[in-house]
């Protein structure tokens, strides 16, 4: 029966069921598309013969909201959704967002803050002993004690606070089936302690071996350096092949135990996951409510891989998907493309072919699939590893096949590309064909910053690599006769960035005539190296101090410097330049970022105002008998009135 999974009792009965095996509570709207974690997990269980009912965005204030299907036979599954609920709700300035793209009509307030914890406790109020398995990105990144930016404290493992029995972390296709089979065979949930990619709680460690005991929770909250040490150990044990079992002690003799990560899926297993009978859209009941925004960008996109060996310090992929690349076969992707092409709404454009990093299709080196990734070494940072295989041939062949499909006008690459990986490839064929066929006027890349000091804390390559990429990009597009541009993603106030580095970035933007419309202020989300730096002030891998700007006003100055041309940012930029003793950048020279408001800004006039401009000021003051500043303000006011009159259709 190809249909959406049941969302109400009527749907369940229509299938001839008198119960469900699992009731799946999710914080998002129900979207049955393989870009959504709950869709994959529910379809995997269905393919294994289990009956799954979906309870989407239940009213957490109403205990009956989880009783849609009655008591499930085996247990409850819980996911906050495709995003951490706090990131979904709040901006980096901790202001409430106005729209939720994973909720029908974009309506806010349909899920609680810390949704995994709230849903878990909601279940426990009614079902004291029913197995509860939590998963998804929120649970995955909060599986052990973690720094929570919104409450500014170290929180316990979400497993404890949600009162769940098992936490499935990472990509859970294998672990969820093993858990389901164990429950189905009659094994009590508290004895399911052997599944890779899971976290459980226990009061005894007798059955464990070859594990690492982390600092206990009380030590973490007393001393930030203890948390940094603990996080450093966790970071070195995220690999499926080399990672050890981790034990985190809590008061009362309770231990939270993290089993090693699940092994990467094979290509055949990946193909099976994406061949399941998804409806590829949001549930039709949402149509009247305005649909679900989140489907728009992925409906006509293709997931080609998962995992990332890029190693950006601000990214949580190392903790969630791991660093080993797993890819689908060409045949699997083309088959899905043909399904997309036959969709009545398809206009001929495949929006994306990628994943966390689009141009990663193979593991970084051969040894990763047998020995795992290096625990203390990155594949691309600070320089590409000698063992790295920088090869785009497989990805290029896939793109060529997709371009040739009947009904396809254009195949875009919109998920992130690693420009340093492109530069490491001695063959320029992919670079050329990307510019020729897979860009629509502009390419978005993420250098994040241009200061090598900040790039080091970001885990990004030196600025010279980005400059070389920009030069090569311009050369290729010139040969192709295509006026295509680069749009850099930039980040402000990342650990390691002082006003000095922020001004250095502003000067780079000035010199290259760039005016970024969007800037991402560093957002300390759970379980990233950068977040650990932000909280502790040290790099957890080396324990060396890192400068961190935590003051909101200081962060605002760094952000304003990136958009120094925006008049709204004038005062912040001026304050930053004065504070950094860079008033040489306040003046009328080409090298200046902003113009002065008064002489205090520019005590050495001759140094920042060129002689010709000085003469012009003097002539105007003699001619009109007023100061240059007054004359300038009159001219601006007159210009404003003229524009306004022109818009209204009047003549002066």
Q: What is the pLDDT of residues 79-137, one digit of tens each?
A: 999 999 999 999 999 999 999 999 999 999 999 999 999 999 999 999 999 999 999 99
Q: Computed from CA positions of residues 207, 120, 321, 491, in that sequence, does the dihedral angle turn out positive or negative? A: negative
The pLDDT of residue 650: 40
Domain range list for the chain? 9-194, 300-428, 441-599, 610-648
SS3 140: helix
CA-to-CA separations, 612 to 9, 65, 459, 601, 617, in angstroms, rounded? 81, 74, 46, 20, 9
Residue 24: phi and psi, rounded to 5, are: -105, 110
Per-residue pLDDT for 648 more than 50?
Answer: no
Fold of 300-428: Transcription Regulator spoIIAA (3.30.750)
The pLDDT of residue 341: 97
The pLDDT of residue 519: 84
With CA atoms as reference, report the closest residue to 254 among 162, 183, 175, 156: 156
Looking at per-residue pLDDT, the higher value among 87 and 614 belongs to 87
The pLDDT of residue 516: 87
Per-residue pLDDT for 155 more than 70?
Answer: yes
Per-residue pLDDT for 142 more than 50?
Answer: yes
Q: What is the pLDDT of residues 552-583, one digit of tens each?
A: 999 999 999 999 999 999 999 999 999 999 99
Whether the bond into 183 is cis, omega within 30 of 0:
no
pLDDT grade, residue 440 (50/70/90)? confident
pTM for this model (two decimals): 0.89
Q: Are 351 and 571 contacting, i.e. CB atoms less than 8 angstroms apart? A: no
The pLDDT of residue 620: 53
Q: What is the pLDDT of residues 262-296, one digit of tens each?
A: 999 999 999 999 999 999 999 999 999 999 999 99
Per-residue pLDDT for 355 more than 80?
Answer: yes
pLDDT grade, residue 198 (50/70/90)? very high
The pLDDT of residue 649: 43
SS3 510: helix
Per-residue pLDDT for 202 more than 90?
Answer: yes
Per-residue pLDDT for 651 more than 80?
Answer: no
Q: Are 312 and 460 contacting, i.e. CB atoms less than 8 angstroms apart? A: yes
Percent over 90 (pLDDT), the chain: 87
Q: Are 45 and 176 contacting, i.e. CB atoms less than 8 angstroms apart? A: yes
Q: What is the pLDDT of residues 42-56, one digit of tens each?
A: 999 999 999 999 999
Per-residue pLDDT for 619 more than 90?
Answer: no
The pLDDT of residue 608: 44
- Mean pLDDT, residues 241-265 taken together: 96
Pairing relation of β-strands 211-213 and 245-250?
parallel
- Mean pLDDT, residues 294-308 taken together: 95
Q: What is the pLDDT of residues 27-37, one digit of tens each?
A: 999 999 999 99
The per-residue pLDDT of the chain, averaged, comes to: 92
Distance of alpha carbon 49 from alpha carbon 45, whole angstroms: 7
Domain spanning 9-194: CATH 3.30.360.10: no
Are 9-194 and 441-599 equal in CATH topology?
Answer: no
Distance of alpha carbon 620 from alpha carbon 632, whole angstroms: 10
Per the structure block, which two tokens stand in for 473? 């990009």
Distance of alpha carbon 444 from alpha carbon 431, whole angstroms: 14
Residue 406: phi and psi, rounded to 5, are: -60, 135
pLDDT grade, residue 318 (50/70/90)? confident
The pLDDT of residue 517: 78
Looking at per-residue pLDDT, the higher value among 611 and 424 belongs to 424
- Mean pLDDT, residues 311-323 taken together: 92
The pLDDT of residue 616: 55
Per-residue pLDDT for 456 more than 90?
Answer: yes
Pairing relation of β-strands 146-148 and 198-202?
unpaired
Distance of alpha carbon 525 from alpha carbon 141, whole angstroms: 9
Per the structure block, which two tokens stand in for 169? 């972390």
Per the structure block, which two tokens stand in for 307? 């995992």
The pLDDT of residue 376: 87
Backbone torsion region of residue 210, taken as left when φ is above 0, otherwise alpha when ψ lies between -120 and 50, otherwise beta: left
Burial tier of 426 (Cβ tally within 10 Å: 0-12, 13-18, 19+)? exposed
Q: What is the CB-side half-sphere exposure of residue 446 using CA atoms within 13 A?
A: 19
Percent over 70 (pLDDT), the chain: 91
CA-to-CA separations, 361 to 298, 328, 354, in angstroms, rounded? 19, 9, 9
Per-residue pLDDT for 647 more than 60?
Answer: no
Residue 542 neighbours by CB under 8 Å, 6+ apart: none
The residues pairing with 448 across neighbouring beta strands, listed in sequence order, are 490
Distance of alpha carbon 548 from alpha carbon 555, whole angstroms: 10
Architecture (CATH level 2) of domain 441-599 = 2-Layer Sandwich (3.30)
- Mean pLDDT, residues 34-41 taken together: 97
With CA atoms as reference, report the closest residue to 245 among 285, 205, 273: 205
The pLDDT of residue 652: 33
With CA atoms as reference, report the closest residue to 327 among 241, 392, 383: 392
Q: What is the pLDDT of residues 457-511, one digit of tens each?
A: 999 999 999 999 999 999 999 999 999 999 999 999 999 999 999 999 999 999 9
Convert 180-228 into a string of H (helix), E (strand) and C (coil). HHHHHCCCCHHHCCCCCCEEEEECCCCCCCCEEECCCHHHHHHCHHHHH
Per the structure block, which two tokens stand in for 354? 């990628």
- Mean pLDDT, residues 252-257 taken together: 96
* Length in residues, the chain: 652
The pLDDT of residue 609: 44
Looking at per-residue pLDDT, the higher value among 624 and 361 belongs to 361
| Strand ranges, E, within 75-155 | 75-79, 132-135, 146-148, 153-155
Per the structure block, which two tokens stand in for 245? 């079992």
Ordered DSSP codes for 612-637: HHHHHHHHHHHHHSS-HHHHHHHHHH
Q: Are 349 and 358 contacting, i.e. CB atoms less than 8 angstroms apart? A: no
Per DSSP, helices labelled H in 425-528 are 429-437, 452-458, 463-480, 499-511
- Mean pLDDT, residues 189-215 taken together: 96
Measure CA of the first residue to CA of the last residue in the chain; give whole Å.
Answer: 72
Per the structure block, which two tokens stand in for 271? 């193909």
């Amino acid at each position: 029966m190809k249909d959406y999974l049941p969302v109400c009792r009527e749907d369940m009965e229509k299938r001839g069921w008198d119960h469900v095996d699992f009731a799946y509570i999710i914080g998002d709207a129900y979207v049955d598309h393989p870009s959504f974690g709950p869709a994959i997990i529910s379809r995997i269980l269905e393919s294994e013969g289990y009956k799954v009912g979906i309870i989407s965005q239940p009213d957490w204030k109403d205990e009956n909201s989880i009783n849609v299907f009655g008591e499930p036979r085996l247990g409850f599954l819980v996911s906050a959704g495709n995003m951490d609920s706090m990131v979904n709700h709040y901006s980096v300035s901790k202001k409430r967002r106005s729209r939720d793209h994973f909720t029908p009509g974009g309506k806010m307030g349909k899920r609680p803050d810390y949704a995994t914890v709230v849903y878990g406790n909601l279940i426990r109020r009614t079902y004291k002993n029913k197995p509860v398995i939590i998963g998804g990105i929120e649970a995955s990144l909060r599986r052990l004690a973690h720094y929570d930016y919104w409450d500014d404290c170290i929180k316990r493992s979400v497993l404890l606070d949600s009162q769940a029995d098992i936490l499935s972390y990472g990509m859970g296709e294998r672990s969820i089936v093993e858990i389901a089979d164990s429950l189905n065979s009659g094994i009590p949930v508290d004895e399911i302690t052997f599944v890779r990619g899971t976290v459980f709680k226990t009061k005894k460690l007798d059955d464990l071996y070859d594990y690492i005991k982390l600092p206990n929770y009380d030590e973490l909250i007393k001393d930030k350096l203890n948390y940094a040490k603990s996080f450093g150990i966790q970071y070195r044990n995220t690999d499926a092949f080399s990672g050890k079992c981790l034990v985190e002690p809590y008061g009362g003799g309770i231990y939270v135990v993290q089993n090693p990560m699940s092994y990467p899926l094979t290509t055949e297993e990946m193909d099976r996951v994406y061949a399941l009978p998804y409806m590829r859209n949001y549930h039709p009941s949402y149509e009247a409510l305005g649909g679900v925004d989140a489907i728009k960008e992925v409906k006509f996109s293709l997931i080609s891989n998962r995992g990332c060996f890029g190693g950006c310090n601000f990214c949580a992929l190392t903790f969630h998907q791991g660093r080993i690349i797993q890819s689908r076969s060409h045949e699997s992707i083309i088959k899905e493309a043909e399904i997309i092409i036959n969709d009545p709404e398809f206009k001929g454009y495949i929006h994306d072919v990628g994943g966390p990093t689009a141009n990663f299709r193979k593991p970084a080196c051969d040894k990763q699939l047998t020995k795992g990734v290096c625990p203390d070494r990155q594949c691309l940072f600070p320089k590409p590893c000698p063992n790295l295989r920088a090869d785009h041939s497989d990805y290029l062949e896939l793109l060529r096949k997709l371009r040739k499909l009947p009904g396809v006008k254009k195949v875009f690459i919109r998920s992130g590309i690693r420009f340093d990986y492109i530069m490491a490839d001695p063959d320029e064929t992919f670079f050329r064909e990307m510019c020729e066929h897979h860009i629509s006027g502009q390419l978005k890349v993420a250098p994040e910053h241009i200061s090598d000091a900040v790039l080091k804390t970001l885990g990004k390559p030196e600025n010279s690599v980005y400059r070389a990429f920009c030069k090569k990009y311009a050369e290729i597009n010139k040969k192709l006769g295509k006026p295509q541009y680069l749009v850099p993603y930039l980040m402000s106030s990342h650990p390691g960035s002082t006003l000095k580095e922020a001004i250095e970035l502003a000067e780079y933007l000035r010199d290259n005539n760039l005016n970024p419309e969007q800037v991402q202020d560093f957002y300390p989300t759970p379980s990233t190296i950068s977040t650990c730096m932000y909280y502790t002030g040290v790099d957890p891998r080396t324990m060396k101090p890192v400068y961190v700007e935590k003051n909101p006003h200081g962060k605002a100055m760094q952000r304003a410097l990136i958009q120094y041309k925006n008049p709204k940012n004038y005062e912040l930029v001026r304050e930053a330049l004065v504070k950094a003793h860079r008033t040489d950048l306040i003046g009328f020279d080409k090298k200046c970022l902003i113009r002065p408001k008064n002489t205090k800004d520019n005590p050495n006039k001759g140094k920042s105002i060129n002689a010709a401009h000085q003469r012009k000021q003097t002539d105007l003051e003699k001619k009109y008998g007023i100061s240059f500043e007054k004359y300038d303000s009159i001219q601006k006011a007159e210009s404003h009135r003229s524009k306004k009159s022109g818009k209204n259709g009047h003549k002066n």
